[in-house]
């Protein structure tokens, strides 16, 4: 009985997979090993929470459309992966991404239209929030985000 308790106490829960083979909390070097094609972006962006894009895949295709993948780090740890459509995305592109994510994750937790466009959210079994945002009012923008934001908020309830 003591041996089982010691084994359980020593077991660690793996970090949630954000996107492909990257996990929450990975270091820059670990993401670079996992995604060897990743390069430092020419103009790194910073999110409102202070996370910055330190690695990117400038040419990545989803449903035959070009995207840039950005790996955001906060305090030295991977916190978010964002895929941004290159060029001028369109509404049917958003709908194609939503369909693909439904196949992968099941029905979305939320899908709504706002005055700026559309948004959809999924929650993976590992607690990763996957969200797709398409804005078509102030210029077209399509992002796919992988983060643990909603899971952290749900834990507070």
Tell me whether residue 29 is exposed, middle or buried, using C-beta atoms within 10 angstroms of its C-beta: 0 to 12, 13 to 18, 19 or more: exposed
Angstrom CA distances, 55 to 51, 60, 76, 149, stand at 12, 13, 12, 20
DSSP one-letter code for 31: H
Mean pLDDT over all residues of the chain?
89
Give per-residue pLDDT as tens, 126-155.
899 999 999 998 789 999 999 987 555 556
C-alpha distance across the termini of the chain, in Å: 34
Instruction: pLDDT band for 14, please (50, 70, 90 cuts).
Output: confident
CB 56 within 8 A of CB 69: yes
Q: Tell me the C-alpha distance between 17 and 34, whole Å.
A: 12
Residues in the chain, total: 157
Give per-residue pLDDT as tens, 73-93.
999 999 999 999 999 999 999
Predicted local confidence at residue 12, as pLDDT: 66
């Amino acid at each position: 009985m003591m041996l089982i308790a010691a084994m359980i106490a020593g077991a660690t829960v793996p970090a949630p997979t954000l996107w492909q083979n990257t996990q929450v909390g990975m270091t820059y070097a670990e993401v670079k090993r996992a995604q060897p094609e990743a390069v430092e972006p020419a103009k790194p962006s910073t999110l409102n929470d202070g996370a910055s894009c330190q690695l990117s895949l400038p040419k990545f295709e989803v449903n035959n459309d070009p995207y840039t993948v950005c790996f955001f780090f906060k305090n030295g740890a991977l916190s978010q992966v964002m895929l941004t459509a290159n060029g001028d995305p369109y509404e049917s592109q958003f709908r194609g991404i939503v369909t693909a994510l439904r196949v992968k994750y099941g029905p979305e937790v939320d899908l709504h239209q706002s005055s700026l466009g559309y948004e959809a959210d999924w929650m993976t079994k590992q607690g990763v929030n996957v969200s797709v945002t398409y804005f078509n009012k102030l210029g077209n923008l399509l992002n796919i985000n992988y983060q643990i934001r909603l899971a952290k908020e749900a834990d507070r309830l």
